[in-house]
């Protein structure tokens, strides 16, 4: 059986949805499994032994003529099954022209998909609705009762782990001592916790915990990260260059991390893929109910506006919150976050400061 899984989206989606490929390999060991993703996300899927081939989609492939050529290349690959976890215009055309006998997604979209798996209404036990829905796309070919492992993984070689050690040491970080990574910005401005609030969270953490602190961000946010670092009152054991690296190098260094705390982006999902405990701050318009992947496990937790201010937001649609996003962010005061974070941190007492 030859299977194509399509997940053309950002880094977090791609690393989380790689769990589909892992489960396909486990239950269909002889299948040929391909994973179609945007080329800029390939670092988080590279080296996965459960993926036989990465199919890379470029921005230029969105142009009508190039998209048709891409779709025809997919057709020539003669897939038996296409699982479209992306289900946007490009992937619908690709799926429609694929010639696959089974074309699986969440809605039929004028008959493009002949196997439809509705999104869930009730919360999953442990993996977040976004991942649970994607895993359900496997049930038409694996069966309703099969166990699907929600743990997504990035796979690093021993050489890569050693590279991560050297990268940390080059920045003055001791890989043998506790390391807390703080994701100080989200992937977008509207997904970034207010900087003064993040500074307060960091100051509280420094007062409570004796750890090396790495500031994480995206390379294009380097200037803002430097400004953030310079405005910190306490720079002791704070290392500001963690974000100036590729996704693969980030993963190599995260393999030594003790904790990851920060804004919602693909980076907490990378940390989760290597079993690094995470605490994620979701933007007001994003629900941990959907994207708190693996939060029901003891090692991960998160905070969103619905948990922090349930009475004020329970009747609001996320689109209503998004139009007033900055105001709602200001309502997510650090004291509310700290109260939730303290409960999560209790299981990591070894690095707590005396007294």
User: pLDDT digit of tens for each residue in the chain (355 aa)?
Assistant: 999 999 998 899 999 999 999 999 999 999 999 999 999 999 999 999 999 999 999 999 999 999 999 999 999 999 999 999 999 999 999 999 999 999 999 988 888 999 999 887 555 555 788 888 999 999 999 999 999 999 999 999 999 999 999 999 999 999 999 999 999 999 999 999 999 999 999 999 999 999 999 999 999 999 999 999 999 999 999 999 888 889 999 999 999 999 999 999 999 999 999 999 999 999 999 988 888 888 877 789 999 999 999 999 989 998 999 999 999 999 999 999 999 999 899 887 656 665 4
Q: Which helix (H) or strand (E) holds 57?
A: strand 53-57
Alpha helices in the chain (DSSP H): 11-27, 64-76, 89-97, 129-136, 139-142, 158-170, 195-208, 222-230, 247-254, 266-273, 288-291, 305-308, 310-313, 318-322, 325-331, 334-345
Contact 39, 56 (CB under 8 A): yes
For the whole model, what pTM was predicted? 0.92
Domain with CATH 3.40.50.2000 in the chain: 2-142, 160-351
CATH domain 2-142 topology: Rossmann fold (3.40.50)
Q: Which two tokens stand for residue 247?
A: 């996704």
Mark residue 47 as left, alpha or beta (left: phi above 0; alpha: psi -120 to 50; beta: remaining).
Answer: left
How far apart, in Å, are the Cα atoms of 18 and each of 162, 215, 272, 313, 325?
Answer: 24, 27, 13, 33, 31
Q: In a 3-state reduction of DSSP, which class is residue 277?
A: coil
Q: Which residue has the tokens 């946010």?
A: 221
How far apart, in Å, are the Cα atoms of 275 and each of 75, 171, 180, 270?
Answer: 37, 23, 14, 9
DSSP category for residue 353 = P
Say what the pLDDT of residue 294 is. 86
Torsion, Cα 239 244 249 254, to 10 degrees, reads 40
Distance in angstroms (rounded) separating the CA atoms of residues 49 and 59: 26
Q: In a 3-state reduction of DSSP, which class is residue 12?
A: helix
The number of residues in the chain equals 355
What is the architecture, at CATH level 2, of domain 160-351?
Answer: 3-Layer(aba) Sandwich (3.40)
Q: Which of these, 46, 34, 25, lies nearest to 7 by C-alpha position?
A: 34
Pairing of strands 81-84, 53-57: unpaired
Backbone angles phi and psi of 233, in degrees to 5: -75, -35
Q: Which two tokens stand for residue 100?
A: 């696959």
Say what the pLDDT of residue 355 is. 46
Q: Which of these, 76, 38, 32, 70, lies nearest to 51 by C-alpha position?
A: 32
């Amino acid at each position: 059986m030859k299977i194509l899984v399509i997940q053309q989206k950002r880094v977090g989606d791609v690393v989380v949805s790689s769990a589909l490929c892992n489960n396909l390999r486990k239950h269909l060991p002889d299948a040929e499994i391909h994973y179609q993703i945007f080329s800029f996300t390939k670092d988080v899927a590279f080296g996965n032994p459960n993926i036989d081939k990465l199919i890379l989609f470029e921005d230029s492939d969105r142009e009508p003529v190039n998209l048709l050529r891409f779709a025809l290349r997919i057709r020539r690959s003669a897939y038996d099954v296409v699982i479209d976890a992306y289900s946007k215009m490009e992937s619908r055309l690709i799926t429609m022209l694929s010639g696959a006998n089974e074309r699986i997604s969440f809605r039929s979209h004028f008959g493009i998909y002949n196997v439809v798996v509705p999104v869930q209404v009730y919360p999953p036990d442990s993996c977040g609705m976004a991942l649970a829905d994607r895993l359900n796309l496997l049930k038409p070919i694996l069966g309703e009762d099969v166990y699907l492992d929600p743990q997504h993984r990035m796979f690093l070689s021993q050489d890569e782990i050693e590279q991560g050690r050297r990268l940390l040491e080059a920045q003055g970080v001791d890989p043998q001592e506790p390391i807390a990574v703080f994701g100080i910005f989200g992937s977008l401005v509207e997904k970034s916790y207010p900087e003064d609030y993040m500074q307060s969270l960091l100051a509280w953490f420094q007062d409570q915990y004796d750890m090396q602190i790495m500031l994480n961000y995206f390379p294009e946010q380097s200037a803002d990260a430097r400004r953030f670092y310079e405005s910190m009152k306490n720079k002791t054991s704070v290392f500001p260059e963690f974000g100036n690296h590729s996704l693969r190098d980030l993963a190599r260094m995260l393999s030594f991390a003790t904790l990851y705390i920060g804004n919602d982006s693909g980076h907490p999902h990378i940390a989760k893929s290597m079993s690094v405990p995470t605490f994620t701050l979701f933007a007001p318009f994003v629900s941990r109910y959907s994207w708190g992947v693996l939060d029901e496990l003891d090692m991960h937790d998160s905070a969103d506006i619905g948990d922090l201010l349930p009475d004020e937001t329970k009747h609001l649609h996320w689109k209503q919150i998004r139009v007033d996003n900055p105001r709602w962010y200001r309502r997510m005061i650090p004291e509310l976050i700290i109260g939730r974070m303290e409960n999560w941190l209790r299981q990591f007492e070894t690095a707590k400061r005396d007294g």
